[in-house]
Amino acid sequence: MDRFEAMSLLLEAIDAGSLSAAGRRRGVPLATVSRKISDLEAHLNTRLLLRGNRRLELTDAGLTYVEACRRIVGEVREAERAASGEYRTPTGELVITLPIAARQQILPVVAAFLKAYPEVSVRLVQTDRVVSLLEEHADLAVRVGELPDSSLIATRVDMIRLVVCASPEYLSTHGTPRTPEDLATHDCIAFEAITVGNRWDFRRGKSDVAVAIRPRLRVNTAEAAVDAAVAGVGIARALSYQIESAVAAGALEIVLEDYAHEAIPVSLVYPRQGMLPLKLRAFLDFAAPRLRARLPQQAGTVAAKGPLME
């Protein structure tokens, strides 16, 4: 039995949530994953997993063993990176997760980075869902918003605003809202990630104000919300960078600016580790100044404090 392979499959199953998901990630049959973990349990003479539930659960012995496995597997991978020269020159694949609509801002920087570092390749994982860096096997995440406490490191690169917008044609036909309360008579586009129920929050002076909206369309991506607003479906709410090109092209106009909340940060987030792989260090040094060029006075590097979902 290859115990290291079995340990790696066990960790994959725990992180993926099931034996079948672990098999898909590794490209091996479910029966193989199950057999190797069963062989590991037989070798240890103890049960590590409770397989009866829809999601895998660890036994008490499994919890202790998995913690040790993570340390061992991590140390082996660290040794492999050192032996392969990853700490001597930037090389290998860099995995980055980012919000879907951030592609327009991030991709040009990634393209320039790839030209500057020919030995590095990049895999971009686009999702508006906050995912675990460990589960996605990612080196770095682009995160929008204030970061909760975490053991991860965050490098702030920009500040953006939550804005309300609509097409000139829509505003010409339906009128321009002057106060948040005016939205009650307008068709709205609700992007679910930033809309709670049928309400949008605004800032009036020093107070927060929640107003009812009438969603004519609900979407689950920022791109869909922006496209629908450009098409004249109604008034949308999005982050300023998500509508930047549409505003520049005259396809969208920002309204209710006097009631906008304070700007929120955009950060590059990565795990705290003893020695950063040069591919990650190189990308941070290359990308951070380019991404923060618009608002350099707002940026800085901080340690996010607590369990950040990364």
The token pair that represents 60 in the structure block: 């008490």
pLDDT at 299: 39
292 to each of 103, 286, 288, 303, how far by Cα in Å? 16, 11, 6, 18
d(CA 33, CA 24): 10
> Tens of pLDDT along 185-205?
999 999 988 888 899 999 988
Query: Letter for the amino acid at 160?
Result: I
pLDDT at 189: 96
pLDDT at 54: 62
pLDDT at 88: 63
d(CA 280, CA 225): 33
pLDDT at 90: 80
Angle at 241 between CA 202 and CA 123, to 5 degrees: 130
d(CA 260, CA 257): 5
Sign of CA dihedral 141, 243, 178, 233: negative
d(CA 144, CA 159): 9
Give me the domains of the chain, ranges plus CATH numbers.
3-82 (1.10.10.10), 92-160+264-303 (3.40.190.10), 162-259 (3.40.190.10)
pLDDT at 98: 87
Segments in the chain below pLDDT 70: 1, 52-55, 78, 81-88, 101, 135, 148-151, 273-274, 293-310
Q: Count Cβ atoms below 10 Å from residue 301 Cβ, excluding itself.
A: 13
Q: Count Cβ atoms below 10 Å from residue 123 Cβ, excluding itself.
A: 13
d(CA 142, CA 172): 37
> Tens of pLDDT along 116-146?
999 999 999 888 777 778 767 789 998 877 7
